[in-house]
A and B are shown apart, each in its own frame.
Chain A
Amino acid sequence: AQSVAQPEDQVNVAEGNPLTVKCTYSVSGNPYLFWYVQYPNRGLQFLLKYITGDNLVKGSYGFEAEFNKSQTSFHLKKPSALVSDSALYFCAVVGGGNKLTFGTGTQLKVEL
Chain B
Amino acid sequence: NAGVTQTPKFRVLKTGQSMTLLCAQDMNHEYMYWYRQDPGMGLRLIHYSVGEGTTAKGEVPDGYNVSRLKKQNFLLGLESAAPSQTSVYFCASDDRAGELFFGEGSRLTVL
Contacts and interface: CB of A to CB of B under 8 A. Distances in A.
Nearest to A9: B40
Interface in B56-102: 56, 58, 90, 92, 97-102
Nearest to B91: A43
Contacts, number: 55
Interface string B16-57: 000000000000000101010000111111001000000010
B43 A44 contact: yes
B42 A44 contact: no
A102 B43 contact: yes
B50 to A, nearest CB: 8
A102 B42 contact: yes
Interface of A: 9, 32, 34, 36, 41-46, 49, 90, 92, 94, 97-105
